[in-house]
Structure 1
Amino acid sequence: MKIVVLVKHVPWTLRDMSFGADHTLDRTARRGQLNEADEYAVDQAARIARRRRDVQITAVTMGPAAAAEALRRALILGADEAVHILDDRLRGSDAFTTARVLAAAVGRIGYDLVLSGAASSDAGAAAVPAMVAELLAVPVLCFADLLRVREHRVEIGRDDGAGLRAYAAALPAVVSVTERCGEPRLPSLAATLDAHHKLVRTWSLADLGITERGADTTVVHTVSAQPGGTAHLVPGDEPTVAAIRLADFLTVHQFL
């Protein structure tokens, strides 16, 4: 079974652990991380691989050179290999262009199941998985809180507010998962070291047979924190005070 996991390199928005203060998000900055929702997708692929011996997991991303960091994290979490779509013409791509490029990469790799996080932390549109499925002409199951893969079909459970409802689709298919599907396992030291020896291939648009990127792009200059924040964690705080301020911040912003 071939599983392709779509992952994204997203900017890291916390700076110097200062909460409540205005800050900007530089989309061209090198500092970033693997989108948290995609960590759950890689973990779900790894769980399937632990139950079957015929699973090959390929992590795929598109983005600048710094996006290789997201692929490295995916390899640590359990992916067997990775593909980095790197092309300057992709800068500022909108959701459809992103889906078009990712679908072309998935088609070239070959797949039985495509997994992704439900949404990215820097956009939150949650549209790319469905677009990829449409371009591949396969079924899509979105916002999976529970995932089971059978021999010829995939089953998910989704909490629609009235309890967990079951949905199923024949393979091949695309599935996006939520954080409720299960906490990712912490990687071992051996997995971290082994990731440095796994294959990472770099493809351009020409490698995918795409001659034109497409006309529509999304340009984001800066993203500022919402006004009104008051919590500010200072490194010199007493541990108890710092913990209280951090808890207040998380509560106000509905992280707790």
Structure 2
Amino acid sequence: MLPEVTAVRYVTPLREGGSMPGLVEADDRRLYVLKWCGAAQGRKALIAEVLAGELGRGLGLPVPELVLLDLDPVLARSEPDHRIQEQMRASGGANLGMAFVSGALNFDPLCFDVDPQLAGRVLWFDALIGNVDRSWRNPNMLMAPGGLRLIDHGASLIFHHHWAGAAGWTGRRYDAGDHALRHAAPDLKAADDELAPLVPAALEAAIAAIPEVWLADEPGFDSPGEVREAYRTRLTARLAGPRDWLPEVAG
């Protein structure tokens, strides 16, 4: 389960991305980037954030801590932008919070070097979850004191937007043509040897961390447990099958 905190102060909007996440302070006195449950992307973006993010953390990748963040819509009173006010009012209850990374800069592949081992682990992970949003145009990575941070995984696991065709995703090759770390000489063989054995345990913990409320009433499923099993089935099959889904890049 994700740690649970409550938003006590709305600080400012972060005007990046379609959902315009907000920066909030919680009752543990820490700052979090809040991803709204009432945003246009819907709850599946939050499910992907949790499953992919917790899986990445379980594999030892530098994903900031995730929490279940309870929001009282009354905090919308301090936001002058009516669009954000409406989004906040639609997001009462359980939202997703990501620990704010102080002092971080947006990653630029032309300015920052990443060693081939870490580049290989990140690219392998993105290929496993089908992350379509790690391009050089929009890397969704931060360079912070202490090194790289991986953020924003809501565009991964795209199979869950069409469960009827999910089986066809299992062996689909990941397109790394625009990946932000493609030219960092990623060592995918070393990453596969290191990470593949860790996935089963990390996947179980990540699936268990998805809040029940976001899995309820999923069309085609009778219970949240069935939805969890569907995620387990798809990712386990992708891991167990031939590694044809790994991209062809120079190692």
Same fold (TM over 0.5): no
Q: TM-score, normalised by structure 2?
A: 0.26
Q: TM-score, normalised by structure 1?
A: 0.25
| Greater radius of gyration (CA) | 1
Higher helix proportion (structure 1 or 2)? 2
Higher strand proportion (structure 1 or 2)? 1
| Relative contact order higher in (CA < 8 Å, ≥ 6 apart) | 1
